[in-house]
Amino acid sequence: MRRLAAFVGVLLVVAVAAAVIVWKTSPPWYERIRYPLHYTATIRERAATEKLDPALLAAVIYQESKFRPTVQSDAGAIGLMQVTPATAQGIAERTGGTAFTVDDLKDPTINIRYGTWYLHDLFAKYGGNERLVLAAYNAGQGNVDRWQQAGEAIQFPETRAYVDRVEHLQKVYRDAWHSQLYG
Cα–Cα distance for residue pair 177/183, rounded to 1 Å: 10
Interval 78-107: pLDDT, tens = 999 999 999 999 999 998 877 899 999 999
Question: How far apart are alpha carbons 94 and 16 in whole angstroms?
Answer: 54
What's the topology of domain 39-182?
Lysozyme (1.10.530)
Could you give the CA distance from residue 114 to residue 108 in angstroms, rounded to a whole number? 10
140-166 pLDDT, tens digit each:
999 999 999 999 999 999 999 999 999
**Residue 11 buriedness (CB in 10 A; 0-12 / 13-18 / 19+):** exposed
By annotation, the residues acting in catalysis are 64
Q: Where are the domains of the chain?
A: 1-34, 39-182
Closest CA to 61 of 113, 101, 26: 113
